[in-house]
Amino acid sequence: MENYNTYQSPLSGRYASNEMSYNWSPQRKHSLWRKLWLELAKAEKALGLDISDEQIAEMDAHQNDIDFKRVSEIEKKLRHDVMSHIHHFGELCPKAMPIIHLGATSCYVTDNSELIQLREGMLIIQKKLLNLIKRFSERADEFAELPTLGFTHFQPAQPTTVGKRLSLYLQDLLFDFNRLEYEIENLPFRGVKGTTGTQASFMSLFKGDSKKVAELDMMVTNKMGFSKPVSVSSQTYTRKIDYYILAVLSGIAQSAYKFATDLRLLSHLGEIEEPWESSQIGSSAMAYKKNPMRSERICSLARFVISLPDNAANTHSNQWFERTLDDSANRRIVLPEAFLSIDIILSVLFNIINGMQVWPKVIEKNLLREMPFMATENIMMAAVKAGGNRQELHEAIRVHSHATIRGIKEHGKSNDLLDRIKNDNLFAPIANNIDKIINPADFIGRSPDQVREFIKNDICPLLEKYSHLIDYGVFEAISV
């Protein structure tokens, strides 16, 4: 039953997927601790320490049955979270109690479990990001040829296409995917390193046998699903790893923020909008409103994630010598919240791009309103070819353009620039062809080809490589 008398994170309570929420849950975290203790004991036994099969079996039988209330009772007395879990595990495994955590330091379980959670979190993100990329590519291809008004400085600029614009967001997401892929493939394990990273306690256990200690490190690393441990560590793995991962998540947040902000602006123009449900309410007071609340949620969460690499940079740079504990409480908040936030952002982003409403008539109307200005150079060149003087034609267009703009802004008139040009004798030789000159499709350059070449050359190979991950069902039904 939900407790409404205590604060709960809105990320896990309202938005995030069950999969990501579980990855950062106390149950997952502390089950990993027990798995790490089990694998350490197994490896120590295999390498000759006096650990019995009965002790191993006892630990194996109690991997997940954690009484958090009991742990809390013990921690109030011991004031140490890892020791509290060791004691509780020992109560369930009395025969194994003497060898639980043998030779290890707290960071053996805390750091290694966090690296596993980081990896699993990145794999969840990777799967969602891949499917988001696929859907973006489909929408980009769908609108590859639809001309739309371009903007620089949010001022009307040369036309592009809706699909070409979508391909720009898609390329950002592709870059993010490549960075994420690198971090997944190169994430190391902390491994079995001892109190200050020297492995001195294990050298003592194995009577100075350095080869066995190195083998122990690799055995546990491989059993936990990693190909390599860090070559050297202090008590902790270098917190620079956190920085690198949060930088990738920040990059995803930046890409999402860019798209969501542009969509909010396009929504104001009436050209492209978020999905809108029949019973959805935009405002408690203004019943007519259709606020872009999904995009606003993305921007709100993305702003938080974008700020986190600075936090991680400060944490790494402030780790004195072999370790200080001022990273602990900070990282308990930052790491889970970053992943939960990105998980939500990707789900909302998919919901938007999947059901994005494009209004071609509004796009065309807005484009045609500005097209006369953009077509003036083409009109001038056509008039020159028909025998006109380029400088005279340029001055005439300048005068007509400024008069048109003044009429629009001062008197609210419609754009009559083409009529002004048609009625100017300087342009008489081409007056009948002017309407043909301003066909929007002639102003979009190679946009359609660029979109389709990009999808073919960059996106399709990625989707083929990870075809086993393609499943839009990864975006489970959450509140968006």
What is the per-residue pLDDT across 220-255, written as a single tens digit (0 to 9) for each?
A: 999 999 999 999 999 999 999 999 999 999 999 999
Q: Flag whether pLDDT at 279 surpasses 60.
A: no
Phi, psi of 158, deg, nearest 5: -55, 140
Q: Flag whether pLDDT at 155 surpasses 80.
A: yes
- Domains with residue ranges and CATH for the chain: 10-99 (1.10.275.10), 106-188+237-273+289-358+454-474 (1.20.200.10), 376-437 (1.10.40.30)
Q: Which residues of 25-54 are buried (b: 16+ CB within 10 A; e: fewer)?
A: eeebbbbbbbbbbbbbbbbbbebebebeee
Q: Flag whether pLDDT at 413 surpasses 70.
A: yes
Neighbours of 314 (CB within 10 A): 14
CB 222 within 8 A of CB 189: no
d(CA 463, CA 173): 13
Residue that wins the pLDDT comparison between 479 and 86: 86
Closest CA to 363 of 438, 274, 439, 271: 271
Q: Which residues are catalytic?
A: 153, 283
Task: Report the pLDDT value the prediction gives residue 276, as an integer from 0 to 100.
Answer: 75
Task: Report the pLDDT value the prediction gives residue 380, as an integer from 0 to 100.
Answer: 93
Task: Report the pLDDT value the prediction gives residue 338, as an integer from 0 to 100.
Answer: 97
Q: Flag whether pLDDT at 129 surpasses 80.
A: yes
Task: Report the pLDDT value the prediction gives residue 286, as an integer from 0 to 100.
Answer: 57
Structure-token pair, residue 291? 């606020």
Longest dimension (CA), the chain: 104
Mean pLDDT of the chain: 94
The fraction of the chain above a pLDDT of 90, given in percent, is 88
Task: Report the pLDDT value the prediction gives residue 479, as an integer from 0 to 100.
Answer: 58
Q: Report the SS3 class of residue 7.
A: coil
Section 261-270 average pLDDT: 97
Q: Report the SS3 class of residue 364.
A: helix
pTM of the model: 0.93
d(CA 190, CA 112): 6
Q: What is the pLDDT of residues 156-198, one digit of tens each?
A: 999 999 999 999 999 999 999 999 999 999 999 999 999 999 9
Section 317-326 average pLDDT: 93
Residues with Cβ within 8 Å of residue 100, at least 6 apart in sequence: 37, 41, 59, 86, 89, 90, 93
Instruction: Find the radius of gyration of the CA atoms of the chain.
Output: 31
Phi, psi of 150, deg, nearest 5: -80, 160
Q: What is the pLDDT of residues 286-315, one digit of tens each?
A: 545 578 999 999 999 999 999 999 999 999
Task: Report the pLDDT value the prediction gives residue 436, as an integer from 0 to 100.
Answer: 86
